[in-house]
């Protein structure tokens, strides 16, 4: 499993909020939904993304931006335009003073704004939940990540424009998968840029010794790995692997494996009804008790509390 596959392999989009937003200047929308990840693709017109802290980003047709939550931001035609709408968690829309919009800006299936043929059109996809596996990669992203049309091409735009307004059986699943593809394409383009700062383990995947070891740990976390066993697989000494892995990844091999196992457990607690004993076997712990102790040490709550919170 490579790094980008690991981002969305477990916590893929499920019922993601996806919409086509259409505006005529002047317009501005304040976003306070605390979503872990939002992707905005500007199909037509110009727009600005304005964080509360830091410089704004100007988008032109064909540009894409990724907003990493939970910090709020404003999307507008120009800096200084007063927001006309406030986006809250769960896709709820209010006036800036808190009054519900009550559907006054609805324009049809997954279409929202002033009028369908407005001068500015944005495709917006929002992940509602943060996956613990993806967190290792998401933490490396800046709060606002722009990708200009001059540095990447998106063949998905026509298909997204067609599918976002379609009301057909299974349509949410189709849109979820398209959003996953869009995010993977965008992050792959971003991490290829010289200004990107990927996490240490991402860069280590290209190392001829540490890279294969990382893939072994990611692909088979339930195996009873040891540093000696991994070193044998890598064709180096135990001490050499430990030094090289720690230098490139930032933590020793067994520490990385523990974090990966617990991240997998956290996602499966949220996404499945498997018993704790079954989960323990899946992620490499000898018993439910051992997994529970390690999980609480890392996350501050028991596995059952984690599952209950996710369900709520």
Model confidence pLDDT, tens digit, residues 71-102 = 899 999 999 999 999 998 877 889 888 888 87
In the chain, what percentage of residues exceed pLDDT 70? 91
Give bridge partners of residue 126 from the DSSP assignment: 17, 38
Contact 125, 182 (CB under 8 A): yes
Residue 238, pLDDT score = 97
Nearest to 72 by CA among 144, 13, 138: 144
Give bridge partners of residue 46 from the DSSP assignment: 60
Residue 128 to residue 6: CA distance in whole angstroms: 18
Contact 16, 175 (CB under 8 A): yes
What is the H or E stretch that residue 22 is in? strand 17-23
Q: Is the pLDDT of residue 68 over 90?
A: no
Residue 290 to residue 304: CA distance in whole angstroms: 14
Segment 188-227, tens digit of pLDDT? 888 778 777 777 777 788 899 999 999 999 889 999 999 9
For the CA atoms of 172, 145, 23, 174, the dihedral, rounded to the nearest 10 degrees, stands at: -10
């Amino acid at each position: 499993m490579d790094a980008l596959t690991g981002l969305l392999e477990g916590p893929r989009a499920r019922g993601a909020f996806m919409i086509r937003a259409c505006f005529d200047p002047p317009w501005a929308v304040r976003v306070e939904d605390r979503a872990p990840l939002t992707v905005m693709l500007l199909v037509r017109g110009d727009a600005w993304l304005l964080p509360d802290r830091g410089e704004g980003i100007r988008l032109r047709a064909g540009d894409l931006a990724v907003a990493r939550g939970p910090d709020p931001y404003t999307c507008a035609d120009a800096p200084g335009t007063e927001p006309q709408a406030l986006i809250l968690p769960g896709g709820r829309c209010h006036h800036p003073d808190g009054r519900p919009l009550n559907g006054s800006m609805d324009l049809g299936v997954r279409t929202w704004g002033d009028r369908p043929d407005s001068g500015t059109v944005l495709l917006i996809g929002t992940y509602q939940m943060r996956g613990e596996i993806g967190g290792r990669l998401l933490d490396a992203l800046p709060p606002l990540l722009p990708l200009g049309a001059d540095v990447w091409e998106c063949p998905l735009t026509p298909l997204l424009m067609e599918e976002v307004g379609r009301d057909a059986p299974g349509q949410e699943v189709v849109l979820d998968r398209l959003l996953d593809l869009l995010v993977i394409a965008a992050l792959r383009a971003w991490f290829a840029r010289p200004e990107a700062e990927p996490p240490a383990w991402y860069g280590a995947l290209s190392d001829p010794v540490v890279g294969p070891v990382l893939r072994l740990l990611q692909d088979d976390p339930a195996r009873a790995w040891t540093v000696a066993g991994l070193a044998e697989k890598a064709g180096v000494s135990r001490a050499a692997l430990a030094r090289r892995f720690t230098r490139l990844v930032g933590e020793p091999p067994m520490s990385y494996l523990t974090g990966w196992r617990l991240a997998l457990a956290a996602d499966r607690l949220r996404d499945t009804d498997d018993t704790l004993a079954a989960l323990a076997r899946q992620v490499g712990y000898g018993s439910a008790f051992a997994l529970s102790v390690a999980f609480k040490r890392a996350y501050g709550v028991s596995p059952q509390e984690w599952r209950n919170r996710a369900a709520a």
